[in-house]
């Protein structure tokens, strides 16, 4: 089947599933109650039926507290770990095929019910024969094919939007989609995930408030990750979160900044289901299926831009914004209209007193200025923007009064030499 036919087939499949879910949901729906919650329940049921890519989109949406209502988001939080599960007999067959021996020879105990079922994989609790409590992660059958089909359809729709809506072209959706597409496809490569998890764990070894589960390399197999089992409260479970929320949000912000600005190797999918609050107050970071790295030059430039922006050094901030974010930026000076308009955008997002921050809003405003001057945002920062958009939603959920810029200035001051 060629690419166009596969994309069209995916669209037809999605429409058929949407029609079926609409009918079933309509028959079960009750009048009264929270309308937004009912809509959220419908979307949750729909994306569960559609598959991994649609679930991933819903996960990103569920983290955006500034865009959708609390009732809607509460229902969408089910996409973090309550998706369709693979029955245990199929799991057992898949694991025994991967290990090449009976499950009982690998594990002393293996719990048949998963402790979490995400968009691409599910996780079971087990105990190795040596006695260590572990989490066992395996990719769901058919996930790779489902992702490929959905992304083919998405590429066709983005191409169509780019042709029909000229105002979208400065956002370079087609080029940026290519970056995100590769990361989404990579979610099913558990060998690459193991390497990413081990690398990030090594960088955070001994960190005071963030930990990454240790990989049991000798127990892993193709398509299977075995890691330390970590006990904790998912960050979307508001009722069970404990401790000072302001301190928790600041620690999360600093941990994420550490990945981006200091390590240059960051988690692209830091939704609340991928972070646990442990009893001792530390955060555990999970699921490294989507990670990205910044080149040394980009990391250095991003550090400088962030430093100048959060310390209100606008001349230097504009200079580094044009260098880092703009494709083929022309020479500019403080007297130019472009320079003045970018300064206004930076001040409105970095300088104006506010406890809200939106990467999407910042990039949209910047793209509009660039469009007026015949310029475009540079391709290559798509994964960072996606990661920031998800992380900032969590921060605002944890602490509605977060002082984003105070925390940023503290981080910059503490790590200026790095």
What DSSP string runs through 377-413?
Answer: EPTT-HHHHHHHHHHHHHHHHH-TT--HHHHHHHHHH
Q: Is the pLDDT of residue 66 over 80?
A: no
> Per-residue confidence at 418, pLDDT binned at 50, 70, 90?
low
Share of the chain above pLDDT 90, in %: 46
HSE at residue 217, side-chain half, CA atoms within 13 A, is 6
> Residue 353: its pLDDT value, please?
62
> Residue 359: its pLDDT value, please?
78
- Which of the two residues, 28 and 195, has the higher pLDDT score? 195
> Per-residue confidence at 27, pLDDT binned at 50, 70, 90?
low
Q: Is the pLDDT of residue 313 over 90?
A: yes
Residues 373-394: what's their mean pLDDT? Answer: 82
Beta partners for 234? 276
DSSP character for 352?
S
> Residue 354: its pLDDT value, please?
63
Residues 56-80: what's their mean pLDDT? Answer: 80
Query: 229: closest CA among 58, 327, 111?
Result: 111
How does 346-368 read in b/e, with b if 16+ C-beta sit within 10 Å? beebbbeeeeebbbeebbebbbe
> Per-residue confidence at 96, pLDDT binned at 50, 70, 90?
very high
> Per-residue confidence at 197, pLDDT binned at 50, 70, 90?
very high
- Which of the two residues, 387 and 359, has the higher pLDDT score? 387
Encode pLDDT of 365-383 as tens digits.
888 898 888 888 876 777 8
Q: Is the pLDDT of residue 73 over 90?
A: no
The answer to whether 139 and 120 are in contact (CB under 8 A) is: yes
The answer to whether 410 and 374 are in contact (CB under 8 A) is: no
> Residue 225: its pLDDT value, please?
98
- Model pTM score: 0.87
Average pLDDT of the chain is 88
What DSSP string runs through 21-82?
Answer: HHHHHHHH--SSS-HHHHHHHHHHHHHHHH-HHHHHHHHHHHT-TTTS-HHHHHHHGGGGTB
> Residue 316: its pLDDT value, please?
93
DSSP character for 348?
I
- Which of the two residues, 381 and 129, has the higher pLDDT score? 129
Share of the chain above pLDDT 70, in %: 95
- Which of the two residues, 247 and 377, has the higher pLDDT score? 247
The answer to whether 151 and 181 are in contact (CB under 8 A) is: yes
The answer to whether 366 and 360 are in contact (CB under 8 A) is: no
> Per-residue confidence at 351, pLDDT binned at 50, 70, 90?
confident
Q: Is the pLDDT of residue 32 over 60?
A: no
> Residue 3: its pLDDT value, please?
75
Encode pLDDT of 145-173 as tens digits.
999 998 898 888 888 888 887 777 766 77
Q: Is the pLDDT of residue 115 over 60?
A: yes
> Residue 415: its pLDDT value, please?
79
Beta partners for 227? 135, 215
């Amino acid at each position: 089947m060629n690419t166009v036919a596969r994309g069209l087939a995916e669209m037809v499949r999605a429409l058929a599933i949407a029609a079926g879910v609409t009918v079933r949901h309509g028959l079960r729906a009750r009048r009264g109650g929270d309308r937004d919650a009912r809509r959220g329940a419908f979307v949750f049921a729909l994306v569960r039926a559609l598959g991994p890519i649609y679930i991933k989109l819903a996960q990103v949406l569920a983290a955006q507290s500034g865009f959708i209502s609390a009732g809607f988001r509460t229902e969408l939080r089910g996409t973090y770990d309550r998706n369709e599960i693979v029955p245990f007999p199929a799991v057992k067959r898949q694991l025994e095929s991967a290990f090449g021996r009976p499950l009982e020879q690998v594990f002393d105990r293996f719990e048949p019910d998963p402790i979490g079922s995400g968009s691409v994989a599910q996780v079971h609790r087990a105990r190795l024969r040596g006695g260590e409590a572990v989490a066992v992660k395996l990719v769901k059958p058919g996930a790779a094919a489902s992702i490929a089909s959905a992304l083919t359809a998405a590429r066709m729709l983005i191409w169509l939007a780019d042709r029909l809506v000229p105002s979208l072209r400065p956002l370079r959706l087609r080029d940026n989609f290519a970056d995100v597409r590769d990361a989404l496809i990579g979610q099913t490569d558990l060998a690459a995930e193991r390497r990413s998890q081990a690398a990030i764990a090594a960088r955070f070894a001994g960190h005071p408030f963030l930990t990454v589960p240790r990989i049991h390399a000798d127990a892993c197999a193709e398509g299977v990750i075995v890691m330390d089992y970590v006990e904790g409260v998912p960050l979307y479970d508001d009722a069970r979160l404990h401790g000072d929320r302001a301190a928790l949000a600041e620690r999360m912000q600093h941990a994420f900044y550490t990945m981006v600005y200091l390590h240059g190797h960051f988690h692209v999918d830091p939704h609340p289901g991928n972070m646990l609050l442990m009893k001792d107050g530390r955060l555990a970071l999970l699921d490294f299926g989507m990670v990205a790295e910044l080149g040394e030059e980009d990391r250095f430039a991003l550090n400088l831009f962030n430093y100048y922006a959060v310390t209100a050094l606008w001349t230097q901030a504009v200079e580094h914004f044009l260098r880092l974010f703009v494709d083929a930026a022309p020479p500019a000076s403080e007297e130019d209209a472009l320079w003045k308009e970018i300064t206004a955008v930076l001040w409105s997002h970095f300088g104006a007193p506010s406890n809200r921050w939106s990467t999407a809003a910042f990039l949209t405003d910047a793209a509009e200025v660039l469009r007026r001057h015949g310029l475009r945002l540079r391709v290559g920062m798509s994964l960072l923007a996606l990661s920031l958009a998800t992380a900032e939603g969590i921060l605002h959920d944890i602490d509605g009064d977060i002082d984003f810029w105070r925390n940023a200035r503290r981080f910059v001051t503490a790590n200026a030499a790095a």
